[in-house]
Structure 1
């Protein structure tokens, strides 16, 4: 090989390597649904909340460029299937993404599920006791593995869907429904901030929240493994974001 040919080859290889580096540096989309105070869009149009802060910290440790975009749940799940959205967080075993995405092993956080009711309504301590009742569910929420229960028992209860936590809680207060299944901290955050009284809740279980990576994303398995590694490392070193602000609503 001539010196000229060798020089040309080195230049070509360098150009390809540079192109690959630029492609890899393209930020991946992290999609999220509105779940304050864990994840929401603030007044400046930016992703905020505990899970947004935690995930940004882990992605920074991974050296993975990511941009955040809020979506309705149905659109988010569709875009993870097509690969237009690369990343999200959701309840462990989320069946909508069972075939479309890889799931992390390490939970980012564990959320508490509770059933809310008015003071003049008898408490229930299991979703099985909601049969024959008027129930509010949050639109777009999967509630982990409980979603299948509501799909199978839909004819045995009157289910209404609410778009926001405020509207869901007001449906109880105005006696348009008798029970609401919701995550405890988001619900009680709204109760505290809006001065809603006359409601009680019973904890029925806990749901770990995991990272999901679309199978259409290049290096999806490596991203999952790196996420688990860095998240565990941060937990071991007490390097996670502080949680005191959110705990006051528990």
Structure 2
């Protein structure tokens, strides 16, 4: 009988240890992003890169999760947030396309600027009248914000749009006079400008966006996930951690 009891105790201890190991394994979160250097992008080896993704993983780990990252075109990313196949997006809050489908963290991670860029030989335009009949370069897969979306659809302005897939290509098009203006985000444009060795461009600020962690309402546990990520951010901030993504 004592041997039987001893064996049973060993079995129970083994099960308890296995259960403890299982519960300590971080929960995997499906994180979607699109190519938006220097904040989020895919490296040459296929791994996710960028300051916002790095901070996202740091917060996830601190909160007891880990991220599984996948790059998407903008439209597919938004569709994933609307159906719950993408659980978390490090992105810009207040997207009209996501209204009613997402929850946003209370902490702002940073801010980005949407701007109108133009060459030194182009005078600053009066907006929106100064764009009438002109050629505007846009980035494929990006969505824009009011009033930009209204300008693009306004038949009275009659804008001609040209889309390209990268910020570098967009700047090259602008330099080659294949467009009069470029509507793009300042940080990616600045990185592309430096890589091309170009002089600083003239620009007009159009919109300032707050960067936040955004979770799909249709993914189980999204409210709990954001609450824990907010707590992780605040705990690290209180401990003096550098949480900048610039």
TM value normalised by structure 1:
0.80
> C-alpha separation between the residues in 2 aligned to 1:237 and 1:170?
44
Can you give the 5+ residue segments of structure 2 that lack an aligned partner in the other structure?
1-11
In the alignment, is the contact (CA less than 8 A) between 2:27 and 2:64 conserved in 1? no
Q: Specify whether residues 147 and 92 from structure 1 end up closer, same or farther in structure 2 by C-alpha distance, changes over 3 A only.
A: farther
User: Which piece of structure 1 moves more, 86-95 or 122-131?
Assistant: 122-131
Partner in structure 1 of residue 175 of structure 2: 173
Partner in structure 1 of residue 233 of structure 2: 231
TM value normalised by structure 2:
0.81
Report the count of equivalent residues.
Answer: 231
In the alignment, is the contact (CA less than 8 A) between 1:112 and 1:203 conserved in 2? yes
Deviation of the 1:99 alpha carbon: 2.3
> C-alpha separation between the residues in 1 aligned to 2:212 and 2:129?
26
Q: Specify whether residues 236 and 127 from structure 1 end up closer, same or farther in structure 2 by C-alpha distance, changes over 3 A only.
A: farther
Deviation of the 1:134 alpha carbon: 1.7
> C-alpha separation between the residues in 2 aligned to 1:127 and 1:106?
33
- Give the secondary structure class of the aligned counterpart of 2:178: coil
User: Which piece of structure 1 moves more, 74-83 or 51-60?
Assistant: 74-83
Partner in structure 1 of residue 91 of structure 2: 90
1:130-177 Cα shifts (integer Å, max 9, x gaps)? 344321222222345555434543662222222110111112111111
> C-alpha separation between the residues in 1 aligned to 2:231 and 2:130?
40
Q: Are 2:56 and 1:58 aligned?
A: no
Structure number, greater radius of gyration: 2
- Give the secondary structure class of the aligned counterpart of 1:27: strand
In the alignment, is the contact (CA less than 8 A) between 1:39 and 1:48 conserved in 2? yes
Deviation of the 1:46 alpha carbon: 1.1
Partner in structure 1 of residue 166 of structure 2: 164
> C-alpha separation between the residues in 1 aligned to 2:137 and 2:155?
12
Superposition RMSD on alpha carbons, in Å? 3.0
Partner in structure 2 of residue 5 of structure 1: none
Partner in structure 1 of residue 7 of structure 2: none
> C-alpha separation between the residues in 2 aligned to 1:121 and 1:46?
40
* Equivalences for residues 132-147 of structure 1 within 5 A: 132-146=133-147
In the alignment, is the contact (CA less than 8 A) between 2:56 and 2:90 conserved in 1? no
Can you give the 5+ residue segments of structure 1 that lack an aligned partner in the other structure?
1-10
Counterpart pick for 2:191 among 153, 175, 189: 189
Partner in structure 1 of residue 5 of structure 2: none
Partner in structure 1 of residue 47 of structure 2: 46
Q: Specify whether residues 141 and 200 from structure 1 end up closer, same or farther in structure 2 by C-alpha distance, changes over 3 A only.
A: same
